[in-house]
Chains A and B, each alone.
Chain A
């Protein structure tokens, strides 16, 4: 209550500055005049009386300043004056001003750029249940880009002891889709069935495809739709589960819808809108036969069994995966890196 009143009083002083100041002027003038009159009754001349009052009670100007500076609004007023003064000075020196503005603009722009890069590279993590346990498994071949083929993935999945839910994904598949009378290219992902459990996802509608549906080449043409894509194409119609549509000319059926906030694991990349099984890779990728060892397009991810400090994961990943791979004829070295 008293805070409100104080604010109201301060605002009144701010916005009706002239009136408030005039009132204070008048009141103070009367105060000093009365004090002087008193002195003159004792026989002083008017001049001496005024002088004596100034000494005893303080001068009009000094008192006004003290009263004005006591309210909170005086701080605001001072800031405003400083701002206006600063603005005037800047206007007077256009050269200096433009250099200063340019410097500030460049500085801000550089920082924004650096931050957005760092944000994508280091700060944002994969939308998973245990992102600190996720690792990406890289192959040093192919100029260190680290991709695998389907047979290599199948082998590692059988043999791996260091990670669970070993998952393959090819998340930048341009898919030509015809659904509900609309046709267009979308960013799709070819993923193994462990993708969903590794990331701890739950379908918004329907289900995800099962390990069984990702076990025989070219057999199970099933797909999961992204929430946004489903909204756009089918207007959020929940009766579309089981319906058919075309991916690159092949008939697929919709088994489920992704949760609304999930757009794939390529952070900062184009969001995924359709997910199909790795066993349908020939539909999703056509530059080489996805089932051949030479066709290395899959990224591998997995969750480490324990929450480990990252350098330990790297070490174990390197040693164990290396040992596992020595038994293959491919003689490829893999290592584990923090995702």
Chain B
């Protein structure tokens, strides 16, 4: 890990969790590890922000949860993307793309 872990851009954690779950249902630790891997170690998440996000997403009906056995045959709570969550992910991804492009344009000028 060359870089120090950095903070997430505010409001993006929800979108990233949804993205992770779009691939397959996953338990909390799995989500954290995958986010770290996909960001190549840039994002390191503490349990607090993750679990608050899980609770929020669940209450918004974007994800749901079920207890299942892990690959090491232990019990863990798996999160699953709902249809609503899938729609939200695609709209947020689109919006994020627009914003990043706009910010990049602004930074490139000058």
Q: Identify the A interface with B (CB < 8 A).
A: 1-2, 5-6, 9-10, 23-24, 26-28, 30-32, 34-35, 38, 56-58, 62-63, 66-67, 70-71
Contact-residue size bin, chain B (C-beta under 8 Å from the other chain) = 20 to 34
Q: Please give me the 3 A-B residue pairs with the lowest Cβ-Cβ distance, nearest first.
A: A66-B48, A34-B29, A9-B59
Interface string of B40-75 (1 = CB under 8 A from A): 000011111101100110111100000000000011
Taken together as a complex, chains A and B put the C-alpha atoms of A192 and B76 apart, in Å, by: 90
Taken together as a complex, chains A and B put the C-alpha atoms of A58 and B50 apart, in Å, by: 11
Is B28 a contact partner of A63 (Cβ separation < 8 A)?
A: no
A30-B29, A30-B75, A67-B52 known; A6-B60 Cβ under 8 A? yes
Taken together as a complex, chains A and B put the C-alpha atoms of A24 and B47 apart, in Å, by: 11
A31-B47, A57-B47 known; A5-B61 Cβ under 8 A? yes
Is B75 a contact partner of A28 (Cβ separation < 8 A)?
A: no
Which one of B45, B51, B75 lies within 8 Å of A67 (CB-CB)? B51
Taken together as a complex, chains A and B put the C-alpha atoms of A51 and B1 apart, in Å, by: 20
Is A58 a contact partner of B48 (Cβ separation < 8 A)?
A: yes
CB of B77 closer than 8 Å to a CB of A: yes
Inter-chain contacts of A34 with B (CB < 8 A): 27, 29, 76
Between A and B, 22 residue pairs with Cβ closer than 8 Å are A2-B61, A5-B60, A5-B61, A6-B60, A9-B55, A26-B77, A27-B51, A27-B77, A28-B51, A30-B28, A30-B74, A31-B28, A38-B33, A56-B46, A58-B46, A58-B48, A62-B48, A63-B47, A66-B48, A66-B52, A67-B52, A67-B55
Taken together as a complex, chains A and B put the C-alpha atoms of A28 and B77 apart, in Å, by: 10
Taken together as a complex, chains A and B put the C-alpha atoms of A32 and B47 apart, in Å, by: 8
Query: Do most interface residues of chain B lie in helix, strand or loop, or is the interface mixed?
Result: helix
Closest to A4 in B: B61
Distance to closest chain B CB from A214 (angstroms): 74
Taken together as a complex, chains A and B put the C-alpha atoms of A28 and B27 apart, in Å, by: 11
